[in-house]
Every structure is written in C-alpha cells, then in structure tokens.
Chains A and B, each alone.
Chain A
Amino acid sequence: MAEMEVERTIERLFARAPELGDADVFAERVQRRLDRGWAARRALIGVAGLVGGVIGASQLIMSNLFSRAEAASSESARVLTSGVRQLAPQAEWLLNGPAGIEAIWLAAGLAVVAMGLVLTRIIEEI
C-alpha cells in the first residue's frame, strides 16, 4: 500500500468505532451530570442573589434612608397638593367634558393594553 493509502485506511478504521452495548447508560450518566451542574448553577445564582439582597437591604437600613425618604415625601406631598390645586380647574373641565369619566377609563385601558403588548414583545425578544 502507498503511504497515503495506509494513512487513509487507518483513518477510516479509526472512524469505524464499534457501538458499545452500554451507549444509552453512558449518555444518561452524562445527562445526569449536566442536570446536576445546571441545578448547582441555579442554586449558586439564587444564593448570590439572596446574599446581594441582604447586603443591599442592610445598606439601605444603615444609611438612614427611611427617615430621609419620609422627609422627602412630606416635602413632595406639599408640592403635589399645590400642583393639584392649580390643575383642579382643568381636571374639572375634562371630567365635565362630552365623554367625561368614560374617556379617562378608556385611555387608561388602552395604556394597559399597550403596556401588555410591549411586555409580550420584550419577553419574546428575551
């Protein structure tokens, strides 16, 4: 046999591997290892998320955020009340218009449907 022919014959013989009797058992073993690895990874991500959450929450508490938020919210409430007072005449006009409260509910409903469509699209993209 020529050198090239020998090489090709040996390559062919290597490619002609016998099918082992326990091929399915072997495949199941690999599958189990993959599943175990996947479960371990998910658990690790969960634990990491929990630890991150606890650290984040403790940081919020330590930074005295709630008392600051309370102070900010009383200030915001004051601003909001004055804003509503200025808007009240226009709101009355809207409510007393030809469509009235139904138009507002319709607009809100359409907004919810639009949000739903956007969310569905985002989920599909992911």
Chain B
Amino acid sequence: MSRSERHRLSSLHDVELASLAASGDRQAFGELVRRHGSAVRALLRRMGVNAAEADDLAQDAFIAAFESIADFRGEGAFGAWVKKIAARVCMRRAQKDKRLRARLEANETPETPAVVDPGRRMDLDEALRGLADAERLCVSLCYGAGLSHAEAAEALNLPLGTVKSHVKRGLDKLKARLAPEGEAMEGQRGNG
C-alpha cells in the first residue's frame, strides 16, 4: 500500500472504513485492524488467554468480522462490535479446547494475589490478576466485551445466576483494589 493511500485511509472514520471494507476493500479493513487490534488482543489477555493464543484468537475474530462486516451498521462503535465477536470466538474455541476452557473457567483465586499498596494507583491488568479465573472472565466479558449478563451466560454455557455472582464478587474485589484509581479519576474530572 502506498504512503498516500495509507494516509487517506488513516484520515477516514471507522464507519467509512467499514463501508469500504463491506465493498471488498481489504486495505480499508487493514486500517481498522491497525486501530483496534491492540484493544481486542488486550481484552482476550484480560479474559485470561495467554498472549500467543490471544493473538491467534484476535486474528480469527478479525477474519470473522470481515466476513460479516455488512452486518455492522455503524450504530455502535466498531471497536465494541469487534470485541463482542472476539469474546464469542474465544468462547467457541473454549467449547472445543478443554484445556483453554479449564484455564478460563477455573474457580480458583491466584496463589499470589496482587498486593495492594494503599495510596498507589493500580492498573486494571494488575487488579484483574487478583481475581479468580472465572470472576475475571465474567467481568471481562461484561465490562470489556460489553456482553449483557445473559449473553455472557449463554457464551459460557453457565447459569445466569452463576455469572451474576462471579461478576458481583469480581466487581467487589476490583472496587477494593482500584479505589485509589477511582478517586484519582474523580479528582481529574473535578479539575477538568
């Protein structure tokens, strides 16, 4: 792709790129991958998938997104749409791959929980490491991929109540760990 073509694509909005991609423009879709690839890979890693497998799943998710790009009507953000696809691709893979499913849904608290140093800002990845695998997966699906509790329950093939309780416990732990972060954010808003 020429530099001018890349420059032209980089100046377009996601919806315009998606529309070009729907007409078969693979370069336009490549620009969407460049913009949202990191977010999708980060989400899969946050769900508990290892880095190499997350990259593999993210590729599958983008291929699936290209196949169904005509369904993207631009009503929501492209990033959110592709994250939902990635979460579902991951869950489908987990249905077939027992090893992946076991890793994602193990109901164990990590042996070395993240240490909370009061007053220090903790990032989300660090805080998520302190959650049990199932809690982290449910929280990531609902707050990272934007699935509803019912959609997450369906994707995980778990009872709705189980998903809700994983989310509740996960949120409580994150709330405790991220308290300095939340306060900092409130402070920023107050100053802005």
Contacts and interface: CB of A to CB of B under 8 A. Distances in A.
Interface of A: 1, 3, 5-7, 9-20, 23-24, 26-31, 33-35, 37-38
Interface residues of B, number: 33
A126 B33 CA distance: 28
B26 A14 contact: no
Given A14-B144, A17-B38, A19-B38, A31 B181 contact: no
**A contact face: mostly helix, strand, loop, or mixed:** helix
Interface in B93-127: 123-124
Q: Which of B34, B37, B41, B55 has the most CB of A within 10 A?
A: B37
A14 B143 contact: yes
A26 B139 contact: no
27 contacts: A5-B182, A6-B175, A6-B178, A9-B181, A10-B143, A10-B171, A12-B185, A13-B178, A13-B181, A14-B124, A14-B143, A17-B39, A17-B42, A18-B42, A19-B38, A20-B38, A20-B41, A23-B34, A26-B33, A26-B55, A27-B34, A28-B30, A31-B27, A31-B30, A33-B63, A35-B26, A38-B26
B34 A29 contact: no
A37 B29 CA distance: 14
Contact of A31 (B33, B41, B42, B178): B33
Query: Top 8 nearest A-B pairs by Cβ distance?
Result: A17-B42, A17-B39, A14-B144, A13-B124, A27-B34, A20-B38, A27-B33, A31-B30
Interface of B: 26-27, 29-30, 33-34, 37-39, 41-43, 46, 55, 58-59, 62-63, 66, 123-124, 139-140, 143-144, 171, 174-175, 178-179, 181-182, 185
A7 B171 CA distance: 8
Contacts of A19: 38
